[in-house]
Amino acid sequence: MASDSSWQCPLFRLSGFLFQADKIRELHLQSQLVELRDLLGQTKNEPRLKGPFAFGFYKEVLLSCERIVDRLHSMRCVTARDEW
C-alpha cells in the first residue's frame, strides 16, 4: 500500500507545473499587448487609402484586453495562495 506522501507527490508536481505554465502564458500575453500598443502608436505615420485609421477604437480594444489580462492575473494570484 502506498504511503500518503507518495500519493500526494505527483499531484503537487502537476499543480506546480500548471502554475508555472499559467505564469508563462500570462507573461506572453502581457508582452504581446505591449508590442501591439507600440504598433498602434506607429499607425499615425502609415498612409491609409480608405481614410483615417480608427486609432481610438483600437486603443480601447487594447485597453480592454489589458484589463482582462490584469483581472486574470488577480484571479490567479488569489486562487494560488497557500492560505486557501
pLDDT digits (tens, 9 = 90+) for 42-69: 988 888 888 888 899 999 999 999 999 9
Q: pTM for this one?
A: 0.66
Sketch the domain layout of the chain as residue ranges: 22-79
**pLDDT at residue 19 in the model:** 64
The single residue listed with the C-alpha cell 492560505 is 83
C-alpha to C-alpha distance for 50 and 67, rounded to whole angstroms:
30
Q: Could you tell me where the DSSP H helices lie in 1-84?
A: 4-42, 55-79
C-alpha to C-alpha distance for 6 and 25, rounded to whole angstroms:
30
